[in-house]
A and B are shown apart, each in its own frame.
Chain A
Amino acid sequence: MTKLTFQARFDFLNDIREFVARIARQGGFSEKEIYSLQLAADEAATNIIEHACADLPNANFDVTCEMRGNTLMIIMHDMGAPFDPAAIQPPNLTADLSARKIGGLGLYLMHKLMDEVHYTPNSKTGNVLTMLKHRG
């Protein structure tokens, strides 16, 4: 079973991280890499819960996690509001304290932690986020 459905609530972030860690461990990733994969999955799921599903009571979303050869694939599928990744400003990592903005940090971390991040918004069939990490 590589696809699990979660309620769009922060209480389930730990379960999502555990799910990703289990598949990654079976796939031979190091503990350091597993931490990164858990963080990327957490940030992605947090964005879905906080933004895409914000106005949907009792929303669910699917998380698929599996190895394809030497690559771990995480797919998240939600029926919430689509967003335009190009409209999200990357965080300014050198701004001083007062000018530092926190928005967009999750998306930035996902890109830094994973080898590939793809997002396909679709208001009819749902939004699909695909993240890939090759085993080092």
Chain B
Amino acid sequence: MEITTQEFKHCDLIKITGRIDSSTAPVFGKALDKANENGRFKIVLDMSGLEYMSSAGFRAMLASQRNCQRYNRGELVLVAVPERIREALELAGFTELFKTFDDSVTAVGSF
């Protein structure tokens, strides 16, 4: 798993590639936390290069969404969710908790 964070004026763009399971989810969670610690609560998560995500990744996304949306200060939105991952998120009832966009330009522009 690799994570890159890019700061835009109104939001952070975090791109994750590879696989997120219980061994890599803590690093993923820390990257999301770090944005919040820097006072950034509008986050675009680019999942286009993600091959796999277990519920450990869902858990990190849920925790981050809670933190971002607190006091209406922001939101975590998803970009280019791969089909298999989207299906698993749907099974878990998670799709309604996150806005999704097809591309990161539109997502960044939404903030």
Contacts and interface: CB of A to CB of B under 8 A. Distances in A.
B93 A13 contact: no
Contact of B22 (A49, A93, A98, A105): A49
A50 B69 CA distance: 29
Interface residues of A, number: 28
B92 A105 contact: yes
B101 interface: no
A119 to B, nearest CB: 18
Interface stretch (B4-12, B36-44, B49-57): B49-57
Chain A, interface SS category: helix
Contacts of A9: 23
Interface in A56-114: 91, 93-94, 97-98, 100, 102, 105-106, 108-109, 112-113
B73 interface: no
Contact of A13 (B21, B59, B66, B97): B21
A6 interface: no
Given A11-B23, A100-B97, A39 B66 contact: no
A46 B69 contact: no
B92 A10 contact: no
Contact of B23 (A14, A112, A113): A14
Contacts of B62: 97, 100, 102
Contacts of B22: 10, 13, 42, 46, 49-50
A72 to B, nearest CB: 17
Contacts, number: 63
Interface residues of B, number: 20
B104 interface: no
Contacts of A32: 84
B21 A109 contact: no
Interface of A: 9-11, 13-14, 17, 32, 35, 38-39, 42-43, 46, 49-50, 91, 93-94, 97-98, 100, 102, 105-106, 108-109, 112-113
Interface of B: 19, 21-23, 52, 54-56, 58-59, 62, 65-66, 69, 84, 88, 91-93, 97
24 contacts: A9-B23, A10-B23, A13-B21, A13-B54, A14-B21, A35-B84, A39-B88, A42-B21, A42-B54, A46-B22, A46-B54, A46-B56, A50-B22, A91-B93, A93-B92, A93-B93, A97-B66, A97-B69, A97-B97, A102-B55, A108-B92, A109-B88, A112-B91, A113-B91
